[in-house]
Amino acid sequence: MGIGVIYQDMKNKHSGIAYSLLFSSILLAGCNKDNENNNTVPVVQGKQLEINLLHINDSHSHLDEESTKLMLETSSGNREEIQVENGGFARVAALMNTLANSEKNPIKIHSGDAITGDLYFTLKEGEAEADLMNTVCFDSLTLGNHEFDNADAGLKKFIGFLNDQGSCKNKTQVLSANVEFGKTSPLYQTDLVKPYTIMEKEGQKIALIGLTIANKTKNASRPNEDTLFKDEVSMAQKYIDELKQQGINKIIVQSHLGYGLEKELAAKLSGVDVIVGGDSHTLLADAKLKNYGMTPEGDYPTVLKNKDGDRVCVVQAWQYAYVVGQLKVNFDANGKLETCTGKANVLIGDNFKRTAKDAAALNSTELSYIRQDIENSNALRIVQPDATALTILEPYKVAKNLLGKEKVAIAEDNLCLRRVPGTTKDTSRSSLGDVCNKADFINQHGGDVQQLVAEAFLQQGKKYFSADISIQNGGGVRVDLPKGDITVEKIYTVLPFKNTLVQLKATGQEIKAVLEDAIDAVVSKNTGSYPYTGGLKWDVDLTKVKGQRVSNLQVRNTQGQYQSLNLNQTYQVITINFLADGQDFYSSFKNITGERRVDVGLDYAEAFLQYVESLSGEKGKKVLSRLPVEQYSTQSYKE
C-alpha cells in the first residue's frame, strides 16, 4: 500500500493523530543511505511523476553532418528522391538542449559506442567526441563494446576527456553494472565507472543502471585480459533488487545489448520500467517512414511486459547521431509506470535538392509541400546545428582534414582495381587504363585492391575474434591505388560507404553457398557481387551450372598452410554488414542470425587504414604491395 493510499484511508477515519504517527513511522522506515553521498534521505512517494528521456546511442565518432536521400512529396501524391543534410553532433546538441529546456524533468542519456568509426577518433582518441558530448552535458553514458577498442587505458583516457573538459555543471556518470575491471586495468578499484546512478526529480528518486554486452565486448573488442563482463540479466536484477531495498521504485536500464536482446531482457527482469538501448543500430519509429525510403524495425516505444507482468518500454535511437529519441514516461502515485509515449526525431537540414541529374531546382510550391510532408512524418525534424557545438568542432575538423592529407604508405607499383577476372565481364573498370585492364595477372586473379581489402579485414578479424576467413564484394571497393603516395583520404576513397564489420559463425556449406550465389549474380550481369576473400581460395568455372562453379576451396590455417574447406565445420567469418544482411545477392548470409552473428561495428575503411598502418616501415614509408599469388582468392578463372 502506497503512502498516498494510507493517507486517504486515515483522512476518511478522521484520525489525524494516528495518521501523523503512522506517516512519521513510514518515512523513518523508508530512510536509506544514498548511493552517491551516503547521506540518509527519505524516499518520497505518493504523487505522480513525469520524466522525459532524451537519448542517443552508437554515435561512433560521427561528428560531422552527412547527406541522405529521402522520398518526399513535391506535389499532392507525388514523391521524389530528394537529397538533404542529416545528422551531425551539432544537431544533436541543438535539439537535446532545446528539449531539455522545454520538457519536464529531462534526463539525457547516451547508451554507448560514443567512439570509434571516424577519423576524429583516429586523430584524438576520444577528445573531440567528449568535447561535443559536453555541449549536451549528458547525465549518463553506458559503456558500449567500442569504448574498449583501445583497451582499458583508452577507456580511462576517454572518461578523462569527458570529466575534465567542457562547462557541464555535473559530470556525465559512466555506467556498467556487469563489468569487473581486472588488476591490470587502470580503472581497477576506481569510481570512474559505476553500476548505476540515482537522480532526483521533484523529490523522487530515479535509478539508471548501465549494461554492456558481455560476450561481444570480451571477444570482439580489446578490454584488458583480466577485465571481465558478467551475465547481463543477473547483474541487472541484482542492482534492481538492491535499489528496491533502498525504496527506489523507478528503474531505467541503459542497455548496450541490441534490440533483440533488450526485448528478451525486458521479459526476464523484475522491477524494470524502461530500457534505453543501443548496439544494434536499430531505427524504431512510425511505420509510415517506409513511405520516405526508411525502414523502421519496430515501434517507438516498443511496449512489452516485464517478469512481473507490468508494462516496460524499450527504445533505441538508430545510429551515427542521426536521431534523438524523446520518451515521455509517466509514473503513478505508487511508482508504477502508467504510460510512455514519444518519437524518434530524425535530424535533417533544410537544403533540399533533387538528386536526378540536370533536374530543375525546387520551386517555392514544391518546397512548401516538402515541409508539410516532413511535418506529417511524425519523425523527420528540421534542426539547425548548435552554433557553440560547431565552434568547438571546427579546430578538430581542420585537423581531421589535415590528417586526410597525411601520407601513410607508398605503393611501389600500381595496385589495380577489377571486380571480375577474365576478359569479358569488367575489362574497363580501372582508371589506370590498359596497364590494369589488359593485364594477364588481373585477368586471371582479379583486382589487387579488392584482394588487399579482403586481407585487411581478415587481419582485423584475427585481432578481434580469431577470424578464419574474410569476404568482401568486388563492387564495394571503388578506386585503384596508383603507384606513389597513399594518404588517409585515399584509403577512405577506396572504401567510401558506411559499412561496418560483422562476425558470422558460418559453416563451410554456407560459405560455399554464398560464393555460388554471388558468382551466379555475376553471370546475370551484376559484376559488383564477385567475391574476394582473405584466408580462402578457389577455382572458378563459369561454364558450369550454379552450385558447381566454385571448386577446390582451400582455407589458410594459422600456420599459413592451405587445407580443404570442411563443409561441416563452422568457421569464423568477417564481412561487412551490407553482405551480412544478404545484400548484393549474398542471400545465404541473411539466415545467419542470433548468436551466430555479432556486429563488430568497426568502420570498414578504418579497418583498412589500420592494416596499412600495421605494415613494417616508418610512417609514410610503409610499402603496400600486391599480395603473393597464392593468397588471391581466385586461383584460376574460366569464362
Type and span of the H or E element at 512: helix 508-523
Residue 387 to residues 94, 167, 391, 392, 423, Cα–Cα distance (Å): 8, 16, 6, 9, 55
Mean pLDDT over 337-362 rounds to 95
- The CA distance from 225 to 312, in Å, is 35
Q: Where in the chain is the domain with CATH 3.90.780.10?
A: 407-638
For the chain, report the end-to-end CA distance as a whole number of angstroms.
79
Residue 11 has pLDDT above 70, yes or no: no
Q: Which residue type sits at 111?
A: S
Tens digits of per-residue pLDDT, 217-270? Answer: 887 788 999 999 999 999 999 999 999 999 999 999 999 999 999 999 999 999
Residue 334 has pLDDT above 90, yes or no: yes
- % residues pLDDT > 70 (the chain): 93
Residue 17 confidence (pLDDT) = 32
Residue 12 confidence (pLDDT) = 37
Residue 116 has pLDDT above 90, yes or no: no
Tens digits of per-residue pLDDT, 457-506? Answer: 999 999 888 999 999 999 999 889 999 999 998 998 899 887 889 999 99
Residue 28 confidence (pLDDT) = 32
Residue 7 has pLDDT above 80, yes or no: no
| Topology (CATH level 3) of domain 44-400 | Purple Acid Phosphatase; chain A, domain 2 (3.60.21)
- The CA distance from 399 to 64, in Å, is 13
Cell triple for residue 622?
610503409
Report which DSSP code applies to 342. Answer: E
* Bridge pairing between strands 337-348 and 380-382: parallel
The model's pTM: 0.77
Tens digits of per-residue pLDDT, 595-617? Answer: 899 888 788 998 999 999 999 88
Residue 447 has pLDDT above 60, yes or no: yes
Please classify residue 352 by burial: count the beta carbons closer than 10 Å to its beta carbon, then call 0-12 exposed, 13-18 middle and 19+ buried: buried
Determine which of 6-20, 226-240, 358-372, 391-405 has the lowest per-residue pLDDT on average: 6-20
Residue 182 has pLDDT above 80, yes or no: yes
SS3 content of the chain, % helix, strand, coil (to 5): 35, 25, 40
Report which DSSP code applies to 143. Answer: P
430 by DSSP, 3-state: which?
coil
- The CA distance from 417 to 420, in Å, is 10
| Topology (CATH level 3) of domain 407-638 | 5'-nucleotidase;  domain 2 (3.90.780)
Type and span of the H or E element at 93: helix 89-102
Mean pLDDT over 630-634 rounds to 97
Determine which of 3-7, 183-187, 384-388, 407-411 has the lowest per-residue pLDDT on average: 3-7
Whether 383 and 88 have beta carbons less than 8 Å apart is answered as no
What's the whole-number average pLDDT of the chain?
90
Residue 15 confidence (pLDDT) = 35
Q: Where in the chain is the domain with CATH 3.60.21.10?
A: 44-400
Tens digits of per-residue pLDDT, 377-431? Answer: 999 999 999 999 999 999 999 999 998 899 999 999 999 999 999 998 888 788 8
In this structure, the chain runs to a length of: 639
Tens digits of per-residue pLDDT, 30-85? Answer: 333 333 333 334 444 579 999 999 999 999 999 999 999 999 999 999 999 999 99
Mean pLDDT over 280-287 rounds to 91
Mean pLDDT over 430-434 rounds to 85
Mean pLDDT over 577-581 rounds to 93
Please classify residue 506 by burial: count the beta carbons closer than 10 Å to its beta carbon, then call 0-12 exposed, 13-18 middle and 19+ buried: buried
Cell triple for residue 244?
528496491
Higher pLDDT, residue 562 or 29: 562
Residue 166 has pLDDT above 90, yes or no: no
Cell triple for residue 629?
599469388
Residue 172 confidence (pLDDT) = 97
Residue 498 confidence (pLDDT) = 78
